[in-house]
Amino acid sequence: MITLTQAEARKRLVTPEEMVSCPVAFVDCRLPGSHLKQNYSFIGPGVTQSASQVVNIPEPHSFNIGAAAMPKGVTNNLHLHFTAEVFLIHEGSWKFRWGAAGEHEAVFSAPTILTIPTWIFRGFTNVSPNETDGWVFTVLGGDNTGGIIWHPSVLEAAQETGLYLGRDNKLIDTEAGAPTPERDQLMPAISAEEMARLPQYTPQQMAQYAVTGEQRAWSSRALLDSCLPGHGGRLAPVIGYGVNQDRTSITPIVRPHGFSVEWASLENDHQWGNHCCDQTQVIMVFKGELEVTFNRGGEAVTLRAPEKSVVSIPAHSWRHYRAINGDCEFTLTSAGDERTKIWWDDAILTAAQEQGWCVDPDGWIAPWHLLPVTARRAGAALAHYPT
C-alpha cells in the first residue's frame, strides 16, 4: 500500500489549463488540410515524432494517454500502429478511414470509443457539423509504442514542405536549418507489395471495434458498494474486463490490448467508495467534475478534476471518487488484460454484508445468504486487502 502527499497527488492531475499542444508533432503537420492539428501527450510520449513535445506525466503506466485537437475539416493522414490505438471521442464527429489507400470509411460521434486494429493504415478527419474544435483522447498500448509507419504518399508530400522522417523516427526540418538528409538517413517507405499483405477490415468488421454512446450497456450493480446509500456508481465495459464485479455484464471488445477501458458514471454527490487495486489506472473526465480522494487510515488527500481532466491513479493506492457540482461521467483505463481485482475498505465490506451482499470466490457480487461458509471465506479473502 502507498500513501500520497498532497504534492504527490497533484502531480498526477492534468487539468485542461495544463495541457500543452505540439503543432509539429508529426511529419504531415505542414500538409494542406493538416497544418492546424494539435497533438498532446499527457502520460508517456505516445507516438510523437517531435523532440519539443511536452509530456505532462512521463512515469511509465504500461500504456500512453494523449489527445488530438483538430478544427473542422482538418485531417490526420494515413499511418499504421504496432500497438493498440484507442480513440475516445470527447467532442465532435469524426470520419475514420482505413486500408492501404484509405478506401474504407465510417463516421463516429461523441461519446464513441473506437479501437483500430494494429498493422493497418488509418487516418481521420473532423467532420463535425459546427465549427467547434473536435477533441479525441487516445490510449496507446505499451510504454514504448515503437512509433508508427506513414503511408508513402505522406512521406513524399512532407518532403516537399521541408520535413523528413529519420530512421530514428524523429523529424528532420530543413526549414529550421537542418541539412537535407541523405536517402540512407531516412525512414524507408513501405512497399506496395508489403502493403498488399496487410490485414483487411470491412466497414462491418470495423463496426465491431466501436461502442457508441447509445450502445453502452450500463450496470448499476457493477460495484459492491452500489447497494449502499450515497453510493451507486455505474459501469459500462468497452474493452477488456476492468474492475466490473457484475457477473452478468458482457464486454463488447475482448481482443487483448494490454489494458482495459470502461465507462463509469456517478450521480451528483454520489460516490464510489474507498478501494484499492494492483494495477495503475487513468481517469479521463468526460462530463461534470470528479473529486478524487487518496489514502486510508491517514491524512486524506483530495483533488478536483474538472471536465476534460486526466488523473493518474497509482497502483496499491487507496482512493474513492465523488461527483460534485452535478452528475459525472468518466472513463477508467486499467493496465493489463486480466480482470482488475478490487480490494474494498473493511467498512464497505461490513456495510454491504448488512445489506445482504458480498463477493463470491470468483470476485463477483453475490447474495450473502446463498453462499456457504466456505464460499464466504473465499470471497472475503479476495475482497479484503492482504495483510
Q: Whole-angstrom Cα distance, residue 102 to residue 134?
A: 21
What is the predicted pLDDT for the residue at 50? 87
For residue 251, the tally of other CB atoms under 10 A from its CB is 17
**Beta bridge pairs of residue 317:** 2
**Distance between CA atoms of residues 322 and 324, nearest Å:** 6
CA distance 239 to 256: 8
Number of neighbours of residue 126 by Cβ within 10 angstroms: 25
Cα 10 to Cα 56, 142, 155, 241, distances in angstroms: 12, 24, 40, 28
Q: Which residues pair with 44 in a beta bridge?
A: none
| Least confident interval from 125-134, 166-175, 205-214, 329-338 | 125-134
State pLDDT tens for residues 64-91: 999 999 999 999 999 999 999 999 999 9
Q: Respond yes or no on whether the N-terminal peptide bond of residue 58 is cis (omega within 30° of 0).
A: no
pLDDT in tens, 112-169: 999 999 999 999 999 998 877 799 999 999 999 999 999 999 999 999 999 999 998 8
Cell numbers linked to 356: 445482504
- What per-residue string of b and e applies to 70-107 under the rule 16 or more CB within 10 Å gives b? bebebbbbbbbbbbbbbbbbbbbbbebbbbbebebeee
pLDDT at 214: 97
Question: 3-class SS at 158?
Answer: helix
CA distances (Å), origin 17, targets 94, 307, 309, 310:
24, 11, 9, 11
When pLDDT is cut at 50, 70 and 90, the band that residue 218 belongs to is very high
The SS3 call for residue 135 is strand
By DSSP bridging, strand 357-359 and strand 281-294 are unpaired
Catalogue all structural domains in the chain, each as residue range(s) with its CATH number. Answer: 17-211 (2.60.120.10), 216-345 (2.60.120.10)
What does the DSSP 8-state code read for residue 166?
Answer: B
